[in-house]
Structure 1
Amino acid sequence: MQVLQVQLEIRPDPAEVGRARRWARSRLAGSGIRADEPLAETLTLLVSELATNAVVHTGRPAMLRLLMCGLRDGSIGTVRLEVVDTSACPPTPRCAEGDETDGRGLALVEGLADRWGWSPEGVGKRIWCELDRVAVTGVGAVARGGLAYGVV
């Protein structure tokens, strides 16, 4: 299995989140993942959530990494997103109430990623999530984890 790793340093500035999304889209496209694929759309949202958390909650620079794991046929099978920062505070999922404007990011990550977690990293932490690429198998059907289901 071949793994391609790319990374981007993001400054503690909310404007960096948009730059991180554009960077991720560009890297995915360069690896043959179209912008309209579910993986690209979902990963862009996850980049936005994790980059925002790093920028807003740490106030420190962070490193954004994409690791694209290739299959035998040369296509990308799994994409791992990592955000490494220098804050030792663990990620804390919140339960946002009603009209609150924040507190849903980690719930989105948990709901959208195939796997996610975090671990201490030096003086800070690494938050990661993984997405498995969905293969189109026929009209209106996709294969995910060995199962096929219809798209409604």
Structure 2
Amino acid sequence: MAADEPLAETLVLIISELVTNAVVHTGSPAVLSIRLPECSGACPGTVRVEVTDSSARPPRPRHADGEETNGRGLELVEGLADRWGWQQESGGKQIWCELDHCVAGVEAVPSGEAVAFPA
């Protein structure tokens, strides 16, 4: 069974925006975690993306005007994700978002475990 391409494309865009924001606004590396639903085949579930950075400053959503090339990251995340938010972490913060879909064709991750990728 093929992966859910629209979901995969949405995840790539969201991950790119969140990691880019973290690196640009902190000047430091970020940590990316993706939690996949435990499923077999196509099923409902929630994909959770978490990006942790070294800044305790809250995220500031902006609304870019016209031809501006910056200021669209969190606006895109808000428009594409079913939910998003942030929380303080020791030494920084974590920005997260959730998409209510299952990634078909991806090996299930045991519930509660995260797949982490250094950014």
Normalised by the size of structure 1, how large is the TM-score? Answer: 0.61
Residues 118 and 126 in structure 1, CA contact (< 8 A), matched pair in contact too? yes
CA–CA distance in structure 1, aligned partners of residues 64 and 17 of structure 2:
15
Q: How far is the alpha carbon of 1:134 from its aligned partner?
A: 6.6
- Give structure 1 regions of 4+ aligned residues with deviation exceeding 6 angstroms: none
> Where does the alignment leave 5 or more consecutive residues of structure 1 unmatched?
1-31, 136-152
Q: Given that residues 47 and 102 in structure 2 are in contact (C-alpha distance below 8 angstroms), is that contact kept between their aligned partners in structure 1?
A: no
Q: Pick the structure with more strand per residue.
A: 1
Matched, 1:109 2:114: no
Q: 1:62 aligns with which of 27, 30, 38?
A: 30
RMSD of aligned Cα (Å): 2.1
1:90 and 2:58 matched: yes
The answer to whether structure 1 residue 43 and structure 2 residue 11 are counterparts is: yes
Is residue 133 of structure 1 aligned with residue 116 of structure 2?
no
Q: Deviations over 1:69-124 (max 9, x none)?
A: 213x4656221000001111111001212221100110100000011100001120
Q: Which has the higher contact order (CA 8 A, sep 6+)?
A: 2
Listed as ranges, the matches of 1:9-28 within 5 Å are: none
- Pair 118,33 (structure 1): closer, same or farther in 2 beyond 3 Å: farther
Distance 1:134 1:124 in 2: 30
> What residue identity is the alignment partner of 1:112?
L
Q: Give the whole-Å Cα distance in 2 for the aligned partners of 1:111 and 1:98.
A: 17
Deviation at 1:37, TM superposition (A): 2.1
Amino-acid identity (%) = 64
Which of the pair is proportionally richer in helix?
1
Q: Which residue of 2 is the match for residue 13 of structure 1?
A: none
Q: Is 1:122 paired with 2:90?
A: yes
For the residue of structure 1 that corresponds to 2:20, the secondary structure is: helix
